[in-house]
Amino acid sequence: MKKLAVIFSFISLAGFGQKAYMSIDTSRIRIGEQTILRLYFEYANPDEDALIGWPQYDDNLTDEIEIIDKTVDYEALTDSTTKTYLREQQITISVFEPGYFKIPAQEIELNESIYMTNELDIFVETVEVDTSKGIIDIKPKYEVNYSFSEMAADWFKTYWYVFAIAGALIAIFFLFRLLKKRRGEEPEPEAPKIPAHITALEALNALLYGEGWKTSQKKEYYSTLTDTVRRYLEERFDIHALEKTTREIIADLKNADISDDDKLYLKKILSQADMVKFAKFSPEDEDGYSSLRQSIEFVERTKKAENEQEEISG
């Protein structure tokens, strides 16, 4: 019976499909009103190593639909047997034009896979105006006391540029005197820029000396290790490695002078670090040491030659 129960549980888990969908609190609003768009992602995570990537937005969902606010994603365990989780993100939206508008399907990433939500429609109504009535004041007119201090404040708000010009002229006068005083002094020579591989190797050797892979602080160790590697990639290959995902970094290095084995190593070490930082994955000590040694060897293999450094300095 136990064997049958295990087999049944495995079949149920294997047959479980990930599901991405979204809903809206109300699909009919007036111009300027707000409603909440809810993104859901249901997925099985038996090994507790899933990495979820939500859509990234600026100020707009589409050209017509504006984002007023959004929350961090909420996570809830819906089935402890299959380790099934439900994540939700709420986005407050508004529209300032009348008509029907389509909310396109949104992409949600799970590790290396992409799942699409459903599409939604939203209808925006105009505010009806009663044109049979004349224009009237909201409140009756009344007189107010206009004190001298209020007059002075209003005058300053109107003619503030006079004080700004006077302040700028005074600053220019003192700056001119300062420059005249320092004229003839030779500027200090600019310190040469430290090559990227030297900075990276110093940080990696410090990690090697500290033996952080043996401690329980795996998250801090991998964070320092991958930040060092990302910073080296940014300075050595002129890419924004500190601000990008592992997939984007590998794509930016497509045409770089790096071997396929080194690209595979980068993908492995950066993905493993993401799992440690975000999925509470705890690798073995020897894995942590091996990642550090491979990072040092990678920097040694890809560092700029001395003649290249001299050309850059010159």
Quote the pLDDT of residue 15.
41
Quote the pLDDT of residue 10.
37
Quote the pLDDT of residue 279.
63
Quote the pLDDT of residue 136.
64
Quote the pLDDT of residue 1.
40
> Where do the domains of the chain lie?
19-125, 196-313
The end-to-end CA distance of the chain, in Å, is 77
Quote the pLDDT of residue 20.
94
Residues of the chain with pLDDT under 50: 1-15, 311-312, 314
Q: Give the CATH number of domain 19-125.
A: 2.60.40.740
Quote the pLDDT of residue 228.
87
Quote the pLDDT of residue 11.
37
Quote the pLDDT of residue 175.
87
What is the fold, at CATH topology level, of the domain defined by 196-313?
Four Helix Bundle (Hemerythrin (Met), subunit A) (1.20.120)
